[in-house]
Amino acid sequence: MRWRRPGRCTDRGGHGLSDVAQLVAGLEEGDRRSIARLLTLVEDGTPESLRDLVAALHPRTGRARTVGITGSPGVGKSTLTNAVVAELRSRDRTVGVIAVDPSSPFTGGALLGDRVRMQGHHADPGVFIRSMAARGHLGGLSFATPQAALVLDAAGFDVVIIETVGVGQSEVEVAQTADTTVVALAPGMGDSIQAAKAGILEVADLFVVNKADHSGAGKLEAELRGMVEMGHETGAVDGWWPPILRTVAVRGEGIPELVDALEQHHAHLESSGALVERQRHRAAHTVREIALERVRGSFASIGGADDPLIDSLATQVAARDLDPYAAADALLVALDPEVG
């Protein structure tokens, strides 16, 4: 199929190229308001502004280490993130955080909770924390989150942490936008069963049994160890055996060990070549998403149920004047110049 070069003269919804360029310049000077506005563009921008933004940012990224922290609601992801941020700061690393709100943006509950728990870093210029709503993004959350991480990477943060609730496939995808994925569990929450269901065992580079001050932490750890061993019968994946760490995030216990393990995993990714491989895998995913989104957009404009072309093709197919494959061909030919 022939793809036309996308047009550039579309409505940019008030965010022109110069706006983006100005914000990117601000970003490079470490201006926090520019970072915040770029993240808002990722959340609310038009497809065109997002395109300009990604084009401007992409060459400036690739430096940050990205860490995904996922797990069921309430296991202590935000508390863990907060403690990891503090530990990283004590090691002189700057940190950007994207906390993906599991609930609707209108309830405010989780957002407020995250803000309260993370406010300790508010005055620190080496930390930037942003909550993102899980709904209403162009191309979905699994598309918006990596773009937001791109903004923080370009802003020069050494480490970018993405906190997501691991309950479904889209969250697993979000976790996979990170170089290192931490799966957090807590005793007494039926987590191990849920972990197996959601397939997060496969994406975990590291397990954290948080709330180790609660009874049942040992049992959960043993259960998890059994599952890891069963899941990796053939041996370690890419030479890495996911460690299981115990933490009491509210007291900062086990956090230095967790950060050590993050560093070890990153070193392993670099030395084994898996880092480059993961980044290529993610790039392929992003390119596919963008292309599919564009095709979907074109279908929305010409292939809708009440589209005259569809209408006429349907009539011909129903009248046996045309077979459905030939009709689809005709539709795709009409679609082609629309793509972009």
Q: Which residues bind ligand GTP (CB under 6 A)?
A: 71, 73-79, 102, 110, 113, 117, 165, 210-211, 213-214, 248-250
Nearer to Mg ion, 150 or 249 (CB): 249
Query: Cα–Cα distances in Å, from 77 out to 136, 157, 217, 232, 235?
Result: 23, 20, 16, 25, 29
Regarding 81 and contact with Mg ion (CB under 5 A), the answer is no
Shortest reach from residue 288's CB to ligand GTP, in Å? 29
Nearer to Mg ion, 77 or 265 (CB): 77
Nearer to ligand GTP, 113 or 216 (CB): 113
Nearer to Mg ion, 78 or 181 (CB): 78
Q: Which long-range contacts (CB under 8 A, 24 or more apart) does 278-284 make?
A: 278/179, 279/62, 279/179, 282/146, 282/176, 282/177
Distance CA 320, CA 301 (A): 26
Shortest reach from residue 100's CB to Mg ion, in Å? 9
Applying CB under 5 A, the span of 16-24, 71-79, 195-203, 317-325 interacting with Mg ion comes to: 71-79
- Name which of ligand GTP, Mg ion, none residue 168 binds, using a CB cut-off of 5 to 8 Å depending on partner kind: none
CB distance 158 to 94 below 8 Å: yes
CB distance 128 to 39 below 8 Å: no
Distance CA 126, CA 228 (A): 36
- Name which of Mg ion, ligand GTP, none residue 213 binds, using a CB cut-off of 5 to 8 Å depending on partner kind: ligand GTP
Shortest reach from residue 129's CB to ligand GTP, in Å? 13
Regarding 78 and contact with Mg ion (CB under 5 A), the answer is yes
Pairing of strands 159-165, 206-209: unpaired
CB distance 214 to 186 below 8 Å: yes
Interaction site with Mg ion (CB under 5 A): 77-78
